[in-house]
Copies of this chain bind each other. A is one copy, B any other.
Amino acid sequence: MSEIAEAPRGGEMTDSPFLKQLAAVIRAEDSYGTWDEKSDSEIMAEFIVTREERRDIPIIGDPDPDVMWRIGKFYDAIGLMIEKDTGCMASQMQKMSHEGFGRIVLIAGKLVVVSKHLRDVHRFGFETYAKLAEAGEKLVADAVATIEQFPDAARA
């Protein structure tokens, strides 16, 4: 009889520049190196929310400060990737309601390079590392395309 190995939570770690950037953003807060022994997947474990976990998270009340922190780091990583690719520094602004709806923008010069409306902020997360990487890379690619479309506004 062959054994069926259970897939690890979040699936396999993928080799993604976005995930490397996100891990670096998180490690930047670790001034004393207490996470040095942790792997990138351990560092980013809280960005994974499985289907079952999702269902168990209530969407009542103010979103948790930890969730807001994760969302901030996610978009910080997006902003840094955009800057690497285009040289345009992108700063983040958030607008969040108490009900977990919100909007996040990244602004470079006079250009809104990322604009994302969020809902169910309480449940912010991705089923797998692959999906986390894919979401981040898509946002970066779209932002770079927007800057290429409106280069003067981005540098204004």
Contacts and interface: CB of A to CB of B under 8 A. Distances in A.
Contacts of A146: 110
A156 B146 CA distance: 10
A95 B93 CA distance: 6
A103 B93 contact: yes
Interface string A92-114: 01110000000101010111110
Q: How many copies does the complex hold?
A: 2
Interface in A108-156: 109-113, 115, 146, 149-150, 152-153, 156
Query: Which has the most chain B C-beta neighbours within 10 Å: A95, A107, A110, A152?
Result: A110
A153 B111 contact: yes
A84 to B, nearest CB: 21
Contacts of A150: 110, 150, 152-153, 156
A153 B113 CA distance: 10
12 contacts: A93-B93, A93-B95, A93-B105, A94-B95, A105-B105, A110-B115, A110-B150, A111-B153, A150-B152, A150-B153, A150-B156, A153-B153
Given A110-B115, A150-B152, 17 more contacts: A93-B94, A93-B95, A93-B103, A93-B105, A107-B112, A107-B115, A110-B111, A110-B112, A110-B113, A110-B146, A111-B112, A112-B112, A149-B156, A150-B150, A150-B153, A150-B156, A153-B153
